[in-house]
């Protein structure tokens, strides 16, 4: 079925995959808000939301409804176009990252083999980095367009924080890329799946640690949530936002957290690989489902970790944040890179 030199079945296949993944990410982000509140409560010896539905399971919908029903306010002195662009950009950038993540191996449906990845491009990690840096524009534009000094301060902080930590993040990944020799995420997972090859965390523990810390900073999560420091900046960059625009900002943050968990699982914890299981002995469809479940379990563990950290450590001061980024993490990442390079040379890999 080829028309205008386009394989329409492939088009439909990819389109449905995109729709499924976007809605799945949104649904997961929705329930992450619930998880966040429940975990926060558990860590503080409280029961958490438990009124809306059984165990409070409808709470995210109640929260969403509340946000939608709120009055939409656009400040008079704001730059209206940019004001609307800010949350849209934050949301788009957050969702765009899903495109290169391998969610599972191939499934066979209606006689077609479908790869559970929207695009296995050979610059996968670079693409992720590019899109993640776009997310900063959402914060910057939102903070700038609000015409509020607190928002602007928060946006500046957010931008400088993101730039500082992206450096360490990139450097920590270079060491990993020297091992894998490829930027393609699907290929990186396949390498970790191969028999006799451990997950990358075993070869790059320090790299993973640095990546984890910088991922916290990139997601603006505590202890690096300076753009949203309530006690110094009222609410941070989204102070002037209300209704669903605010919802988009909050939501994009959860999606970012989800995606960075997926990326960490993919790069360091074998992606959809199940440990001690040879996937080739299963039929492809079952192997794919097992793989997706394995990936989701890893992601849930990471998300729990994100929340656990949030309710443990207080926020860093701005100078501590910059010190940690520039004076501690970047030298560590450089050292990690040098050691990895030396070991690779020494082993003649």
Partner 1 sequence: MQALTNRAKEVDRRQMTFLESIYLWNIFKGMIVTFKHLFKKRPTIQYPEQQRTFSPVFRGLHVLNRDEEGRERCTACGLCAVACPAEAITMEAAERLPGEENLYREEKYAARYEINMLRCIFCGLCEEACPKDAIYLSETFAPANYNRRGFVYGKQDLLIPNPKTEAPELAKAKGIH
In the complex, minimum distance from the CB of residue 292 to partner 1, in angstroms, rounded to a whole number = 27
CB of 313 to partner 1, least distance (A): 6
Q: Which CB sits closer to partner 1, 208 or 272?
A: 208
Degrees, nearest 5: CA angle 178-179-183: 65
CA distances from residue 302 to 35, 94, 240 in whole angstroms, order as listed: 12, 17, 31
Nearer to partner 1 among residue 35 and residue 86 (C-beta): 35
Interacting residues with partner 1 (CB under 8 A): 42-47, 50, 209, 308-309, 311-313, 323-324, 328-329, 332
- Quick one: 118 or 329, whose CB is closer to partner 1? 329
Q: CB of 45: closest distance to partner 1 in angstroms?
A: 5
Q: What three-state secondary structure class fits 294?
A: helix
Residue 38 CA to residue 41 CA, distance in Å, equals 5
How far is the CA of 122 from the CAs of 10, 44, 199, 333, in angstroms?
19, 45, 21, 24
44 vs 231 by CB, closer to partner 1: 44
User: C-beta of 74: minimal distance to partner 1 in Å?
Assistant: 34
Helices and strands counted in the chain (H then E) = 13, 4
Cα–Cα distance, 326 to 59 (Å, whole number): 40
**Dihedral over Cα of 211, 93, 115, 292: its sign:** positive
Residue 228: CB minimum distance to partner 1, A: 20
Cα separation, 345 vs 322, in Å, equals 33
Closest CB to partner 1 among 47 and 341? 47
Q: Which is nearer to partner 1, 68 or 335 (CB)?
A: 335
Smallest gap from Cβ 204 to partner 1, in A, equals 16
């Amino acid at each position: 079925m080829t028309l205008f030199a386009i394989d329409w079945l492939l088009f439909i296949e990819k389109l449905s995959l995109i729709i499924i993944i976007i809605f799945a990410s949104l649904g997961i982000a929705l329930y992450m808000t619930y998880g966040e509140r429940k975990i926060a409560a558990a860590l503080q010896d409280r029961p958490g939301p438990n009124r809306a539905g059984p165990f409070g399971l409808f709470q995210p919908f109640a929260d969403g409804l509340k946000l939608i029903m709120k009055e939409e306010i656009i400040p008079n002195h704001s730059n209206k176009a940019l004001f609307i662009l800010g949350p849209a950009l934050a949301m788009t950038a957050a969702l765009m990252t899903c495109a290169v993540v391998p969610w599972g191996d191939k499934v066979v449906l209606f006689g077609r083999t479908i790869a559970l990845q929207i695009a296995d491009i050979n610059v996968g990690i670079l693409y992720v980095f590019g899109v993640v840096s776009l997310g900063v524009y959402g914060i910057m534009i939102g903070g700038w367009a609000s015409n509020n000094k607190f928002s602007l301060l928060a946006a500046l902080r957010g931008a400088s924080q993101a730039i500082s930590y992206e450096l360490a993040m990139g450097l920590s990944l270079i060491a990993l890329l020297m091992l894998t020799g490829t930027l393609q995420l699907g290929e990186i997972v396949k390498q970790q799946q191969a028999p006799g090859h451990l997950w990358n965390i075993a070869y790059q523990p320090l790299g993973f640690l640095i990546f984890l810390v910088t991922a916290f900073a990139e997601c603006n999560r505590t202890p690096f949530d300076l753009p949203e420091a309530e006690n110094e900046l009222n609410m941070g960059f989204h102070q002037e936002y209300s209704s669903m625009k605010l919802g988009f900002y909050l939501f994009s943050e959860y999606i970012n957290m989800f995606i960075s968990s997926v990326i960490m699982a993919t790069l360091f914890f074998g992606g959809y690989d199940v440990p001690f299981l040879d996937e080739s002995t299963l039929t492809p469809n079952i192997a794919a489902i097992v793989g997706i479940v394995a990936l989701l379990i890893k992601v849930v563990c990471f998300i729990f970790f994100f929340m656990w950290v949030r309710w443990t450590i207080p926020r860093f001061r701005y100078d501590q944040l910059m010190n940690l980024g520039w004076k501690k993490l970047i030298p560590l990442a450089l050292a990690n890179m040098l050691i990895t390079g030396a070991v690779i040379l020494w082993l003649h890999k």
